[in-house]
Amino acid sequence: MNKKNKKNYKNSSKKFNKPARKPMERITKVSFVKDIRDGLTEKANLIGKINRVVQTGGPTVFVISDGTGSLSLKGFVGPGQRAFPEIEEGDSIKAFVKIEEFQGETEGEIIKINKLSESENKDFLKSIENIEKERATILPPEFLVKDKILDKLRDLFIKAATEIRLAIIQDRPIIVRHHNDADGYSSGFSLERAILPLIEEQHGSEKAAWEFFQRAPCQAPFYELDDSIRDTANSLRNVAKFSNKMPLVIIADNGSSEQDLMAIKQGKIHGADFIVIDHHGFDKDVISPEVKVHINPFLVGEDGSDFSAGMLCTEIARFINPKVKNISQIPAMAGFADMIQLGNPKVMEQYLKIAEKEGYTKELLSDISLVIDYVSTRVRFMEVREYIEVLFGEPREKQKKLVELMAPYIRDLNAKGLAMGKSNAQQEKLGKITLQIVEIDKTFPGFGFYPRPGRAIEMVHEDLQSEKGITSLVTAGIMNTAITLRATDEANFSVHDLIEFIKKKSPDSFVNGGGHKNAGSINFLPYKKDEVVKLLKEFIKER
Amino acid sequence: MNKKNKKNYKNSSKKFNKPARKPMERITKVSFVKDIRDGLTEKANLIGKINRVVQTGGPTVFVISDGTGSLSLKGFVGPGQRAFPEIEEGDSIKAFVKIEEFQGETEGEIIKINKLSESENKDFLKSIENIEKERATILPPEFLVKDKILDKLRDLFIKAATEIRLAIIQDRPIIVRHHNDADGYSSGFSLERAILPLIEEQHGSEKAAWEFFQRAPCQAPFYELDDSIRDTANSLRNVAKFSNKMPLVIIADNGSSEQDLMAIKQGKIHGADFIVIDHHGFDKDVISPEVKVHINPFLVGEDGSDFSAGMLCTEIARFINPKVKNISQIPAMAGFADMIQLGNPKVMEQYLKIAEKEGYTKELLSDISLVIDYVSTRVRFMEVREYIEVLFGEPREKQKKLVELMAPYIRDLNAKGLAMGKSNAQQEKLGKITLQIVEIDKTFPGFGFYPRPGRAIEMVHEDLQSEKGITSLVTAGIMNTAITLRATDEANFSVHDLIEFIKKKSPDSFVNGGGHKNAGSINFLPYKKDEVVKLLKEFIKER
Amino acid sequence: MNKKNKKNYKNSSKKFNKPARKPMERITKVSFVKDIRDGLTEKANLIGKINRVVQTGGPTVFVISDGTGSLSLKGFVGPGQRAFPEIEEGDSIKAFVKIEEFQGETEGEIIKINKLSESENKDFLKSIENIEKERATILPPEFLVKDKILDKLRDLFIKAATEIRLAIIQDRPIIVRHHNDADGYSSGFSLERAILPLIEEQHGSEKAAWEFFQRAPCQAPFYELDDSIRDTANSLRNVAKFSNKMPLVIIADNGSSEQDLMAIKQGKIHGADFIVIDHHGFDKDVISPEVKVHINPFLVGEDGSDFSAGMLCTEIARFINPKVKNISQIPAMAGFADMIQLGNPKVMEQYLKIAEKEGYTKELLSDISLVIDYVSTRVRFMEVREYIEVLFGEPREKQKKLVELMAPYIRDLNAKGLAMGKSNAQQEKLGKITLQIVEIDKTFPGFGFYPRPGRAIEMVHEDLQSEKGITSLVTAGIMNTAITLRATDEANFSVHDLIEFIKKKSPDSFVNGGGHKNAGSINFLPYKKDEVVKLLKEFIKER
């Protein structure tokens, strides 16, 4: 997307399907699919590319697309017999057809059909490309708030939005895969709100919202090879059964790390493409070369703790679809869920004001975020699109009632989880630093328990600070093969340094892990647990 | 349902769809949807409520209902163009239509359509309400057996049956969620047998049996918030994709306890309604205020161990649908599965006689119940409707063969489970009482093992009594975070008292649990296991 | 299938649907369904069996089949009214119909329909049986390679192929259930490649490939009762919803053992039939009496380690469908995956040559097999038909890219698994034999870890031999309730003898298990673990 193109799109109210001007002027009296769908023509000349050939027990159906929409053309020579066998998928054709209505859909009955000559084809492909590009092009809006991170990422936003629009225009399914927490759901939902109406408009049907779009959380905090194999397998099935194209996959609030690389490469082999919108850190950017667009504050010298993925995706949603609705409250909620007020209080203030205008107080946003967190642990990998809509305020009244019912209930669960954690927490002074240990497997009831271990440990960690005023504190939730860690600034901790330390002292532990300086987790072999805990203490003593 | 209405329904052979008399006599020559479906009319005046507006690529489709059935009316002004934009979902209309057959369904082509005037609308809504109420009204049958519990619950049965019929008449989907054991399956199946034929009749299609009905077991022994969120999410999806209504959920052999409350409240926020038919105890009735009907022997001063849920549901099934088939053997089977012969031998005798008339001996019923128990552990949350039909004798011959194959196999599994349990059971004399302990996690092979721990412990408990003649016995199956308990009457045990005892002595154990006096289970934090076992011994000593 | 019939089928290029000659010559001017589908007839006399009666809201639809194909006949007396109520499912009829095209399918409108007289019916059933048999009959091809095992199994191959073709011809769905490893996938895929095109031809539709065929791995190394209950439940649902027939289930690379018996018997009660193609050993052949065909080298006095199931199924695939494509490289891959080069190097050589002709080197085959093994652990019980196609080279270019990406990645995972295993392996000299122990639960990260424990132990076992030159070695991977074992020939080990030994010394361990002499696993109760390990050492000392 070049900046010089921008001036063409002053008129942002143009319809998504309508190209600004007619291509291939050389060929006279050619109609656009879009125009045929709009009104009733009796007969028409069409030029298009064959996307699909379906042999029914009756006629042969050719689905063509000319950049403005898709249309089914029927050829009949005998029941179940292949009509026009010379015309195949991928061919560009011109056809003279009779326009009919069949079972509520507009269709064409082929009177004459021919492949384009080489020069016609060249012209046509150029023109279809232009139409699609033109329709994909956006008029970038102002951001909701002022922030240098947004300014630095603006060009990438334009590129991502254009690619997403182009995928819709080219009838590619879109899969949004997001982090399984409140910021991740916020990211996925704001994109969904922008994309779904465009898909419905493109295909002229509400059903298309289910056929060409899917949003689902990742279970791990990255896009796993497992996710990728499953997405690929499902997409290949849709290609085989419904002649779908391979999807554009948008990974939101995940996707920037080395751990996402294999999954992305795997999907690409089968024809999927990827866009990543993340704010998590990474050691080295191995993702950008593999994806259409990679958006992350760290890529422009900024810090991901200053801007959440839900914030980024809401702004991008407004680039994708200028008419997008019910998302302006999302950045504030997503931001609080990821504690952006600590890193970037100014941007939080601006977003909160916008949310408040929509009737969302800070307390309500926090409650909604709590409910999303809880529900995400119950629905796991399921999409539950309509239920998520309620959580995000569609309709507002149900959202309110649901949050009023569930937030107090979840707060009780959290309070109980905290009490359980405290009942078995051991403190130990290591130099100036207090180490607090909770043996998770021995303390909490196990599978399916809410709050999740990481959250329970966080609460125990915060509670000791506020109750006892301990400011130099590390809290460790110890499991059989992992430890989840929280530290105060004063403790001068670093998850990354700890990992390096253990790797050196005990290579057979096969330690790895990740997270931020003050919050993260490490994994190791189960028989090395005691050794790793010993090393953790040594590490803290030496800080 | 008022008693004064009863006299209208002497003629129980009336068809489900046919109202007894014509409403809105003021409006002349109005046809009922039902009448149009019955024969072939060329043109007709209809009055109805718009349930759904679907914009196809061709005509606009308005689905109307007038209390006697539903009909699709098509309006066409141009392909994909909204016809009669002034007519919206929820409006009441009168229409003059041409009746057509399209793809095997009767439809109407709109010649004229108008919203009703305010006064017409008022009349119509009153009349539709009357028609629906009239069709929902039942002529209560005699019970299969004589029992005071049934007599006391009779009015609630009438209310529940009427509500269920009304839901069917109003095209609401019905979800039956039942306990995951033989009594629970019996409850679910007898309701299914009554409801499915009415749904098929209402919609005039066999397909409707899948679109408007679902039966599935709960995994936990109550209707969990998880179940509720998933049911809600699926129902919201069906609302969005198929314009379904929100369901009526019948919770059977579960649902009366405080643990079901949040789930029911959650569903109600989204528009679901609930009926509970249970026989389990509860501390306080918090359910009645939240549901349409709450049926439980305890609500009328009786005891749930005197009547099983499968018995209750079979009797209610006969209220819902007087023509219900193949359920009269169910109460005996359900009753034996829940040991009702101990609490209420008279009623068991009567039900057994009825079952024997149908060719079901006590042994056969016990074998069927064994197979249901086993199959329920294999199919878990899946509905497997047709497989369950075979288990309940549709057809009888297959049921017989299946039980002959599987019952001996399952008895062998049980025998092996008993032998395993005995091999690691420790007895200890505590005062007059013998405490028998089996460490479940160390004794049985683990995940997926049949019999389930609770059943295995029960067998070990019974075996020691019969083998050694120990009459004052408590058997405890100890797991990492739970203990399952069985006691003889002579042991003077009480699960509830034990829970109170531990709560007092060791609040940090976070103990809770439930069940009956002599059979139940308790949960606690894993690191408190040894302390809880010590307290269990103290508790027994002190009895 | 008698050998004397063979001479009739010299012309192997005959079309699958076309019988060689016309039956029932007595009845004049009768058309075959197949002929009607081929061209456009206006009116026709048909003779057929009613497979299905569907009452729509419009006409009554009778689906007939005459051995050459299926056709829908419509009778109309009024919307939703049952036409020709005297004609029922299972009846044989003659009909005079008008041939029409409706929604792309050829259909007949009934002008006249009558049940056949008793003598006509007898003739017809005989003729339909002959047509079906004739179409099912095969002209057995030459084998791809020369091997006495194949020669001995030839007649069983013919029988199996004929039964499979007959099932397709009779519109029975086919379910292929295979072992969840590379040999199992090879078996399933080669059968799929032969069967799918015949199903598509039979039903004249691509959709049929999903309606009448399913392939999926078993999770356990046998066809469990769970699998059988689920397959049955799904099939019964398809019978109820779509009037399908009960399936023919082909169990491949599993199925020959006593552990498969209950599952097969269970399925048969509901009308499923079974064919087993396996090469695993068994104590006693209890399967043959229960299945249509049972193929296993052990049944003809040969050894299963000399021929893999993937090899067997590829050869059978060529019997089922002489035009089967893209499978000649499979035997080499399957063979290497199951180490057939050790037992039968000659056959491996021949198959490898064939694979090399197709451009598959030994290295590539080994890499593909590695990727299949990995993917199988990720997709678990899902079919992922199209993804599996890519793994097997459809298209070749994608297969190559995928293997190039994933094989090195998986080799790294394996290398890491080996290093982890070695880091915690303990060796102990017991007489002349070295026992190497790895405590799996303490050594590997747990659920979802790749490589799977069995594979990791195998690598540790091989590594010690090659690194330290230890030739008399037993390696034991110890879990809470199981031990996986590998032994060298020199160690004179036997998993079966070990099981007998422990059974005698410690009956309360409830030990069982299986596998080969030098590779297998045993299960026991968790509290007996230490005792079992002690007995394992005793057993080794005594060898």
Higher pLDDT, C446 or A306: A306
**Interstrand relation of C92-102 and C60-65 (parallel, antiparallel or unpaired):** unpaired
Least confident piece of the model among B88-92, B257-261, C412-416, C527-531:
B88-92
Contact status, residue B62 vs residue B108, Cβ threshold 8 Å:
no
Q: Do C229 and B205 touch (CB under 8 A)?
A: no
Question: Is C56 within 8 Å of B204 when comparing Cβ atoms?
Answer: no
- Which H or E run includes A490? none
Return the pLDDT at A152.
Answer: 98
Q: Does pLDDT of B131 surpass 60?
A: yes
Q: In this model, does residue B286 exceed pLDDT 90?
A: yes
C115 to chain B, minimum CA–CA distance in Å?
A: 25
List A277's β-bridge partners, or say none.
A252, A295
With CB atoms and an 8 Å threshold, state whether B423 touches C525: yes
Q: B319 is written with which tokens?
A: 């209220």
H or E element that contains A66 = none
The per-residue DSSP string of A121-148 comes to HHHHHHHHHHHHHHHH---PPPPSS--H
Could C406 and A226 be called an inter-chain contact, meaning their C-beta atoms sit closer than 8 Å?
A: no
Burial of C289 by CB count in 10 Å (0-12 exposed, 13-18 middle, 19+ buried)? exposed
Q: Which residue of C has its CA nearest to B105?
A: C57
SS3 state of residue B200: helix
What confidence score (pLDDT) does residue B469 get? Answer: 94
Instruction: State residue A140's pLDDT score.
Output: 96
Question: Nearest 10 degrees: CA dihedral of C339, C341, C344, C345?
Answer: 180
For residue A61, give the 3-state DSSP assignment. strand
Whole-number Å distance between alpha carbons of C321 and C310: 16
CB C436 within 8 A of CB C425: yes
Question: Of how many residues is chain C composed?
Answer: 543
The share of chain B scoring above pLDDT 70, in percent, equals 92
Q: Which amino acid is at B227?
A: D
How are beta strands A425-430 and A433-439 bridged, if at all?
A: antiparallel
Q: Write down the pLDDT at residue A390.
A: 97
Q: Whole-angstrom Cα distance, residue B447 to residue C531?
A: 22
Mean pLDDT of chain B: 90
- Show the tokens assigned to A235: 């997409």
Q: Model pTM?
A: 0.90
CB contact under 8 A, C526 and B445: yes
Cα–Cα distance for residue pair A449/A432, rounded to 1 Å? 34
Handedness of CA C522, C524, C526, C529 (dihedral sign): negative
Is residue B3 scored above 80 in pLDDT? Answer: no
CA distance C430 to C474: 10
Mutate to test the interface with B, among C245, C525, C530, C532 (most CBs of B within 10 A): C525
Q: What percent of chain C lies above the pLDDT cut of 70?
A: 92
Q: Which residues of C touch A (CB under 8 A)?
A: 37, 39-40, 101, 103-106, 204-206, 210, 375, 378-379, 382, 384-387, 389-390, 398, 401-402, 405-406, 409, 416, 419-420, 423-424, 439, 441-446
Condensed to tens digits (0 to 9), the pLDDT of residues C284-311 reads 999 999 999 999 999 999 999 999 999 9
Rounded Cα distance between B127 and B27, Å, is 12
Residue C416 distance to chain A (closest CA, Å): 9
SS (H, E, C) A397-445: HHHHHHHHHHHHHHHHHHHHHHHHHHHCEEEEEECCEEEEEEEHHHHCC
pLDDT higher than 70, residue B13? no
Cβ contact A240–C386 (<8 Å): yes
Q: How far is A103 from chain C (nearest CA, A)?
A: 10
Pick the residue of C236, C528, C530, C532 with the most B CBs within 10 A to test the interface with B by mutation: C236
Please name the residue that has the structure tokens 């909160």.
A352
pLDDT computed for residue C38 by the predictor: 60
pLDDT at position A7, please? 34
Contacts of A389 in chain B (CB under 8 A): 236
Q: Per-residue pLDDT tens for B76-89?
A: 887 667 899 999 88
Whether the pLDDT of residue B2 is over 90: the answer is: no
Beta-strand runs (E) in C79-211: 92-102, 105-115, 174-178
For chain A, the residue count is 543
Give the C-alpha separation, B332 to B348, whole Å.
6
Q: Do C527 and B106 touch (CB under 8 A)?
A: no
Question: What H or E segment, with its residue span, contains residue B257?
Answer: none
Q: Do C446 and A58 touch (CB under 8 A)?
A: no
Provide ipTM, 2 decimals.
Answer: 0.87
| Helix A182-203, helix A362-379: angle, nearest 10 | 80
Label residue C241 by pLDDT band (50, 70, 90).
confident
Do the beta carbons of residue A519 and residue A486 sit within 8 Å? yes
Query: Is pLDDT at C414 greater than 60 in this prediction?
Result: yes
Q: Is residue B354 packed enough to be buried (19+ CB in 10 Å), middle (13-18) or exposed (0-12)?
A: middle
A320 Cβ neighbours under 8 A, 6+ residues apart:
A138, A161, A164, A165, A191, A194, A195, A198
For the cut 70, the answer to whether the pLDDT of residue C41 exceeds it is no
Comparing C-alpha atoms, which of B376, B371, A479, A436 is closest to residue C446? A479
CA distance A341 to chain C (A): 37
Segment among B195-209, B476-490, C165-179 with least mean pLDDT: B195-209
For residues B103-114, average pLDDT? 82
The CA-atom distances, in angstroms, between B23 and each of A404, B70, B112, B165 are: 43, 17, 22, 20
Q: Which residues of A touch B241 (CB under 8 A)?
A: 210
In this predicted structure, the answer to whether residue B206 has a pLDDT above a threshold of 90 is no
Nearest CA in chain B to A441: B526
Are the C-beta atoms of residues B440 and B453 closer than 8 Å to each other? yes
Structure tokens, B297: 């022997």
At C83-103, the pLDDT tens digits run 999 998 889 999 999 887 765
Cα(C506)–Cα(C500) distance, rounded to whole angstroms? 10
For chain B, the chains sharing at least 3 beta-carbon pairs closer than 8 angstroms are A, C
Nearest to A204 by CA among A35, A455, A407, A89: A35
Which tokens in the block code for residue B468?
């050694």
Quote the tokens at residue C426: 């303990």
| Percent helix, strand and coil across chain B, each to the nearest 5 | 50, 20, 30
Least confident window among B120-129, B431-440, C258-267 = B120-129
A108-122, A140-154, B282-296, C409-423: which has the minimum mean pLDDT? A108-122
pLDDT recorded at residue B202: 82
The amino acid at residue B252 is: A
For residue B513, the chain A residues in CB contact (below 8 A) are none
Inter-chain contact B382–C266, Cβ cutoff 8 Å? no
| C213 neighbourhood in chain A, CB within 8 Å | none
Structure confidence by residue, pLDDT tens digits, C498-523 = 999 999 999 999 999 988 889 999 99
Q: List chains touching A (3+ CB pairs under 8 A).
A: B, C
Q: Between chains, do A236 and C387 touch, taking CB under 8 Å as contact?
A: yes
DSSP state of A521: E
Name residues of chain A where pLDDT drops below 50. Answer: 1-14, 20-27
pLDDT of amino acid C14: 46
User: Which one of C104, C387, C406 has the shortest CB-CB distance to A56?
Assistant: C104
Query: Are the beta carbons of A498 and A483 closer than 8 angstroms?
Result: no
Residues of B within 8 A of C230 (CB-CB) are 378-379, 382
Q: What percent of chain C has pLDDT over 90?
A: 74
Residue of A nearest to B510 (CA): A420
Distance, in Å, from the CA atom of A220 to the CA atom of A230, rounded to the nearest integer, reads 14
Q: Which chains touch C (3 or more CB pairs under 8 A)?
A: A, B
Per-residue pLDDT averaged across B23-44, rounded? 66
Contact between C158 and C1 under an 8 Å Cβ cutoff? The reply is yes
CB pairs under 8 A between B and C: 93
pLDDT digits (tens, 9 = 90+) for B487-525: 999 999 999 999 999 999 999 999 999 888 899 999 999
Query: Which stretch, B39-43, B122-126, C457-461, has highest mean pLDDT?
Result: C457-461
Is C329 or C58 the better-scoring residue by pLDDT? Answer: C329
Complete DSSP assignment for B447-474: TT-SS-HHHHHHHHHHHHHHHH---SEE
Q: Determine the Cα–Cα distance for residues A266 and B24; give it in Å rounded to an integer.
A: 66
**Which pLDDT value is given to residue B43?**
86
pLDDT at position A37: 67
Query: What does the pLDDT read at residue C232?
Result: 97
Helix axes C345-357, C362-379, angle to 10 degrees: 90
- Which residues have C-beta within 8 Å of that of residue A395, sequence separation ≥ 6? none
- Those residues whose C-beta lies under 8 Å from the C-beta of residue C311, and which sit 6 or more positions away, are C330, C331, C334, C335, C340, C347, C351
Q: What's the pLDDT at A21? A: 45
| pLDDT at res. B103 | 58
Confidence label for B234 from pLDDT (cuts 50, 70 and 90): very high
Q: What is the DSSP letter of B284?
A: S
CB nearest B58 (choices: A104, A405, A445): A104
Interface test with C, best of A260, A525, A530, A532 (most C CBs within 10 A): A525
